[in-house]
Amino acid sequence: MNRNSKWQEAENIEKTQLHEYNTFIDRGKAVIHGIDVSNAPEGFKKIRIHTVYDVKHDGRHKARMVAGGHLTPVPLESVYSGVVSLQSLRIVVFLAELNSLKLWGADIGNAYLEAKTKERAFVVAGPEFAELEGHILVINKALYGLRSSGLRWHERFADTLWDLGFTAS
Please list the residues that pair with 49 across neighbouring strands: 67
| Closest CA relative to residue 106, chosen from 53, 161, 34 | 161
Q: What is the pTM of this model?
A: 0.81
| 53, 87, 110, 136, 148 from 70: Cα distances, Å | 19, 30, 20, 19, 11
87 occurs within a structural domain: yes
Domain that holds residue 12: 6-163
The band of 169, judged by pLDDT with boundaries at 50, 70 and 90, is: low
State how many domains the chain has.
1
> Which DSSP category does 116 fall into?
B
83-92 long-range Cβ contacts below 8 angstroms, 24+ apart: none
Q: What is the pLDDT of residues 114-168, one digit of tens each?
A: 999 999 999 999 999 999 999 999 999 999 999 988 889 888 988 888 888 887 6
Confidence grade of residue 1 (pLDDT, cut at 50, 70, 90) = confident
Residue 166 and residue 169: Cα distance in Å, rounded? 9
Please return the burial class of 45, using the count of CB atoms within 10 Å of its CB with bins 0-12, 13-18 and 19+: middle
33 in any annotated domain: yes
Determine the pLDDT at residue 78. 74
pLDDT class of 49 with cuts at 50, 70, 90: very high
pLDDT tens for 68-127 read: 988 887 877 777 777 788 999 999 999 999 999 999 887 777 889 999 999 999 999 999
Q: Provide the residue type at 55 as one letter.
A: V
Note whether residue 72 is domain-resident.
Answer: yes
Q: Is residue 168 part of a domain?
A: no
Identify whether 83 is part of a domain.
Answer: yes
